[in-house]
Amino acid sequence: MMEKKESKESKERIEKKKKKKIEIIDSYNSKSYTEIYDRRYKSIQFEKFESFWGSTKEKAILLLDYGCGTGLLWDFYNSKYQIIGHNERIRFISIDISNGMLKIFKKKMKIVDNSPKLHFNDVHLVCCDGEHLPFRSKRFEYIYAITSLQNLSNLDLGLKELGRVKEKSAIIAISYLKKKISKDLLIKTFEKSFEGVHIKLLKTKSSEDWVFKIC
């Protein structure tokens, strides 16, 4: 009887997580949300990206934009290129569970003007679940997971995947809503998921997010 009860509770948890994931996909796919996303979040996200900019501009990297949304990280890098010039050495692999968001991102890449931009071939858009990444292990030198991990139905599984696909010396940039989890519990979760890393809590202008650099 006890095993049947535990099995039933386990199935209920799985179904609850599936339902949450479907709700998130539907929400992010909705036209009413995708159309206002950049206006609402661009300046906030840029403040977080700025904290990590100096770590990536000196070398060639394969970068995973985990939960890329409409491509705000790509926008940020291109705004920097207007100052320092074009750099084809940075290759973006941008993933999101929302196909609606990725469609907006794709439209951005087709806009041509006189500003230096990442070449279209330097950016690869992948619609996938962040808890089950379709990449080989130890691939990425740099990972941005900004305001995305809190949307997962299983945080431990998402972090496990990030730990799997990152190179040994990779840098991981993470932000997480403060109201979702305490700083200490979040750090303990990182320590369990990423062995032998240095976890640094950064000071940023954001009052809503914990922002971490893990390397």
CATH number at residue 21: 3.40.50.150
Q: Which of 202, 170, 198 is nearest to 183 (CA)?
A: 202
Cα separation, 207 vs 202, in Å, equals: 12
Cα separation, 122 vs 117, in Å, equals: 10
Q: Give the chain's domain count.
A: 1
Predicted structure pTM score: 0.85
Sign of the CA dihedral 165, 67, 178, 48? positive
Q: What is the pLDDT of residues 20-73, one digit of tens each?
A: 777 777 777 787 677 788 999 999 999 999 888 776 655 667 899 999 999 999
149 and 174 Cβ atoms separated by less than 8 Å: yes
DSSP state of 203: P
pLDDT at 86 over 70: no
Q: Which range marks the domain in which residue 102 is found?
A: 2-214
pLDDT at 132 over 80: yes
